[in-house]
C-alpha cells in the first residue's frame, strides 16, 4: 500500500507539508504561485491523499454504512441504488453489509460499521428488537457507533431517530377495501411475518378494512408465518382447498405473492375469476410481463435516496429533532382485484 505521500510532495515542491495540505483542501492562505507549483507536483505523481490518514487526523470519516437483509432482492437492491446515488453525488463512501434477516449477523454488521468508524449508518434492521434484551443489545451497539442512524423501512419501537418508512397500515387498508368495493366478502390475508412490525401493520390494515365494512373477520383466513415463498405456498394450498375458502386475498409482500401464484397455478385456478388478490409491492418481472396484477407500489429507489439525504442532513444539523418520513404506497389496480360473476 506504499504510494507517494504528502511529505514526498512537499519535499519535491520545496514547501512544508502544511502548505500541501492547504492546497489539497483549498483552505488557508497560500500564494498563487505556490499553489500552482504544488498542484503540478501532485499531478505529476497522480498524488491522492489517504482517506485513512485524513479520517484519523480529522477524527471524522466520510464512510457511511448500509445494512440490509439481503442484496439479492429487488426491494433491497432498489434501496441500495437510491442510497448509492446520493452518496456518490455527495462524495461519501458506501460500506455495505447484509444480515440475512439474522439477529446475530445484524449485530456483527453493526460492529463492523463501528470498527470502520463510519460517520453514520442507514439501517434496515434484521428484526424488530422488541424483546427487551435484544433491544438492549442492538441499541447498545447503535450507541457505540457514535454516529447518527437512519432507520429504513422497518421501524423499531422506542428508537428515537430519523427514519424513512412506508405506511403499511393504510396501504393494506386501501388494498383490502379495493377488493371489498369490487364485491368480495370473503377476503383472506397472507400476512407473512407478524414478528416484524411491518407485517403486523399490514395485517392490521387488512383487519380494519374488514371490520370497518362490517364483514366478518375469520381467524382461519389470516395466514401468518414468514414472508417467504414456500410458507405462503403451503398455507394457500391448504386454505384454497377448503369448501369455505376466501374469494380474494390481501398479500403482504412479493415473496409470498410468488408462493400464492404458484399455489393458484397448481390448483388450476384463474385470476381473478376463481380467486382475486392485491399484493404489497411489485412482483419481480412485473414490468416485463405487464401482468394485470394489482398491487401497492412504492418508489423504492426514492426511499433509499430519502434515507441518505436524511443522514447527510443530520450531519449538518445534529440537533434537529428526529424526522420521520412515512411514504404512502400507491394502489395500482390492474384487474386482479376484481370479482367476476363466476364466483358464487
Query: Contact 188/251 with Cβ under 8 angstroms?
Result: no
If one counts every other C-beta atom within 10 angstroms of the C-beta of residue 150, the result is 28
Nearer to its own copies, 39 or 117 (CB): 117
Those residues whose C-beta lies under 8 Å from the C-beta of residue 155, and which sit 6 or more positions away, are: 163, 165, 197, 198
Please give the residue ranges that form the binding site for DNA (CB under 7 A): 2-3, 5-7, 14-19, 21-22, 24-25, 28-31, 33-35, 48-50, 52-54, 56-59
What is the grid cell recorded at 34? 505556490
Report the distance separating Cα 181 and Cα 339, nearest Å.
9
CB of 218 to its own copies, least distance (A): 28
Report the distance separating Cα 244 and Cα 246, nearest Å.
7
Nearer to DNA, 52 or 71 (CB): 52
Nearer to its own copies, 15 or 261 (CB): 261
Nearer to DNA, 50 or 104 (CB): 50
Report the distance separating Cα 190 and Cα 167, nearest Å.
18
The site partner of 239 among DNA, its own copies, none (C-beta below 5 to 8 Å per kind) is: none
CB of 214 to its own copies, least distance (A): 36
Please give the residue ranges that form the binding site for its own copies (CB under 8 A): 1-3, 46, 48-53, 55-56, 59-61, 63, 70-72, 74, 77-78, 80-81, 84, 88, 93-98, 105, 111-112, 114-117, 119, 140, 144, 146-147, 258, 261-262, 265, 283-290, 301
Nearer to DNA, 3 or 212 (CB): 3
CB of 114 to DNA, least distance (A): 10
CB of 282 to its own copies, least distance (A): 10
CB of 136 to its own copies, least distance (A): 13
The site partner of 258 among its own copies, DNA, none (C-beta below 5 to 8 Å per kind) is: its own copies
In 100-224, alpha helices (H): 103-115, 132-145, 168-181, 197-212
Does the CA dihedral 306-130-107-193 come out positive or negative?
Answer: negative
CA dihedral of 188, 193, 195, 200, whole degrees rounded to 10: -40
Nearer to its own copies, 111 or 323 (CB): 111
231: enclosing H helix or E strand: helix 229-240
Amino acid at each position: 500500500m506504499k504510494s507517494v505521500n504528502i511529505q514526498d510532495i512537499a519535499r519535491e515542491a520545496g514547501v512544508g507539508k502544511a502548505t500541501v495540505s492547504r492546497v489539497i483542501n483549498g483552505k488557508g492562505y497560500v500564494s498563487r504561485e505556490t499553489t500552482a507549483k504544488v498542484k503540478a507536483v501532485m499531478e505529476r505523481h497522480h498524488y491522492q491523499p489517504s482517506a485513512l490518514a485524513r479520517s484519523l487526523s480529522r477524527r471524522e470519516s466520510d464512510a457511511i454504512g448500509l445494512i440490509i437483509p439481503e442484496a439479492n432482492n429487488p426491494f433491497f437492491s432498489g434501496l441500495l441504488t437510491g442510497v448509492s446515488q446520493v452518496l456518490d453525488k455527495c462524495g461519501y463512501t458506501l460500506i455495505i453489509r447484509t444480515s440475512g434477516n439474522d439477529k446475530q449477523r445484524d449485530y456483527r454488521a453493526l460492529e463492523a460499521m463501528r470498527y470502520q468508524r463510519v460517520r453514520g449508518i442507514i439501517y434496515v434492521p434484521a428484526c424488530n428488537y422488541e424483546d427487551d434484551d435484544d433491544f438492549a443489545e442492538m441499541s447498545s451497539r447503535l450507541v457505540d457507533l457514535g454516529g447518527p442512524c437512519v432507520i429504513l423501512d422497518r421501524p423499531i419501537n422506542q428508537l428515537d431517530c430519523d427514519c424513512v418508512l412506508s405506511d403499511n397500515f393504510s396501504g393494506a387498508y386501501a388494498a383490502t377495501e379495493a377488493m371489498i368495493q369490487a364485491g368480495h366478502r370473503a377476503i383472506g390475508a397472507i400476512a407473512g411475518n407478524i414478528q416484524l412490525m411491518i407485517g403486523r401493520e399490514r395485517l392490521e390494515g387488512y383487519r380494519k378494512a374488514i371490520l370497518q365494512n362490517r364483514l366478518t373477520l375469520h381467524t382461519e383466513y389470516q395466514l401468518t408465518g414468514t414472508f417467504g415463498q414456500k410458507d405462503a405456498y403451503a398455507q394457500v394450498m391448504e386454505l384454497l382447498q377448503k369448501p369455505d375458502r376466501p374469494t380474494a386475498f390481501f398479500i403482504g409482500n412479493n415473496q409470498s405473492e410468488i408462493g400464492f401464484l404458484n399455489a393458484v397455478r397448481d390448483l388450476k385456478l384463474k385470476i381473478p375469476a376463481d380467486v382475486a388478490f392485491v399484493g404489497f409491492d411489485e412482483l419481480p418481472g412485473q414490468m416485463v410481463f405487464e401482468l394485470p396484477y394489482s398491487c401497492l407500489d412504492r418508489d423504492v429507489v426514492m426511499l433509499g435516496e430519502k434515507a441518505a439525504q436524511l443522514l447527510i442532513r443530520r450531519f449538518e444539523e445534529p440537533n434537529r429533532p428526529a424526522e420521520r418520513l412515512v411514504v404512502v404506497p400507491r394502489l395500482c389496480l390492474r384487474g386482479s382485484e376484481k370479482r367476476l360473476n363466476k364466483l358464487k
